[in-house]
Amino acid sequence: MTERHWIASGPEPEFTLDWGTRQWRINLDRDNPGLSPSDPISRSKLLSLNGIARVGRYDASAFSGKTLIGWERFRSRVVATYAPPNWGGLTVRAAWSPGPIPEAVDLEVQVWASSVGELIGVEVLVSSAWFGLERQADVPTDLATWVTPRDARSAAFSYDGRESSGTLMSLTTRPVPGSSRTGQSPSVTVSRRDPDDLSYVEMIHPNDCARRIIGGSSDRETMSRLEFATRYGLFGHDLEKGVVLRARLRGLWIRSSEPELDAMRYVEAFLREPPPLGP
């Protein structure tokens, strides 16, 4: 298999990557960096850093050019390091790279802090949103949200002050997984209306994700245009000085007549892979 690489597409740190049947762009010093189609009218963004949360606080401005303290492009990877202020010396390093199988992109996130006792139940938020009709007017505003928690403590995160009152008005928490399961099931999202007849599958190791929040529209007509909007609360642990946490997500384009069934085969292979050593 030919190795894919990020290509500089303008003033660095902006890069492009061929993925699926499209070219995708990432700019590491823009707000909430993630992968967007190079088409300028697109409203979709996948595997995007979306903020940081803890008890009583959610910071949607944690990832931007103002908090970017370093980046590099090394072979097939682009790596960015962010240090948002007033977060107990928290440092977040993210690496986007083509996965080990065709048409896959992995996002690896690593966090550590210099503080003691400040970061309780801290989450790094990663989001993906795919809109079937890629114009701003087609982005629905009447979204309902469903939360799948990893455990009882994670279920409480939605109600400890880190979510807005607007989010809580449309939020439903699903049952906590039973004791016979280890964490929640991997996230698998299938987008059926890609113009190139591809399906998008997204997955994460169960124990890496405290909460998976899936958004959908309460309007049936609008829902037919919105493929998915998913937000992951990574980690959800108390972070102390000297502790390093790591998580990994994978986005994958497949062509299949039974995408949900085939997606699980890719998820099982993903879970068998050794854990990352860090970005």
pLDDT tens figures, 16-31: 999 988 899 999 999 9
For 244-268, how does the pLDDT look when each residue is reduced to its tens digit (9 = 90+)? 999 999 999 988 888 878 888 898 8
Q: What is the model's pLDDT at position 141?
A: 46
Degrees, nearest 5: CA angle 196-202-204: 165
Q: Return the SS3 of 109.
A: strand
Residue 220 has pLDDT above 50, yes or no: no
Identify whether 279 is part of a domain: no
Per DSSP, helices labelled H in 99-200 are 152-157, 165-169
Q: What is the model's pLDDT at position 38?
A: 86
Q: What is the model's pLDDT at position 206?
A: 87
Q: What is the model's pLDDT at position 124?
A: 98
210 with 162: CB under 8 angstroms? no
What percent of the chain has pLDDT above 90?
A: 56
Q: Cis peptide leading into 11, omega within 30 of 0?
A: no
Residue 145 has pLDDT above 60, yes or no: yes
Q: What is the model's pLDDT at position 186?
A: 56
Identify whether 1 is part of a domain: no
Task: Give the total number of structural domains in the chain.
Answer: 1
Identify whether 30 is part of a domain: yes
Least confident of 49-53, 55-59, 128-132, 222-226: 222-226
Identify whether 278 is part of a domain: no
Q: What is the model's pLDDT at position 229?
A: 83
Q: What is the model's pLDDT at position 218?
A: 47
For 176-216, how does the pLDDT look when each residue is reduced to its tens digit (9 = 90+)? 887 544 445 555 555 555 556 778 889 998 889 999 998 76
What domain range is 41 assigned to?
7-272
Q: Could you give the C-alpha distances from 223 to 133, 138, 142, in angstroms and in order?
A: 11, 10, 10
Q: What is the model's pLDDT at position 21?
A: 85
Residues listed for the chain:
279
Identify whether 234 is part of a domain: yes
Residue 156 has pLDDT above 60, yes or no: yes
Q: How confident is the model at residue 238 (pLDDT cuts 50, 70, 90)?
A: very high
Q: What is the model's pLDDT at position 174?
A: 92
Q: What is the model's pLDDT at position 223?
A: 40
Q: What is the model's pLDDT at position 74?
A: 84
Q: What is the model's pLDDT at position 40?
A: 66
For 55-94, how does the pLDDT look when each residue is reduced to its tens digit (9 = 90+)? 999 999 999 999 999 999 987 899 999 999 999 999 999 9
Mean pLDDT of the chain: 84
Q: What is the CATH classification number for the domain harbouring 196?
A: 2.70.98
User: Which residues are CB-neighbours of 31 under 8 A, at least 6 positions away?
Assistant: 61, 63, 64, 65
Q: Which residue has the higher pLDDT, 246 or 141?
A: 246
Q: What is the model's pLDDT at position 192?
A: 54
Q: Could you identify the residue written with the tokens 């401005």?
A: 61
Residue 116 has pLDDT above 70, yes or no: yes
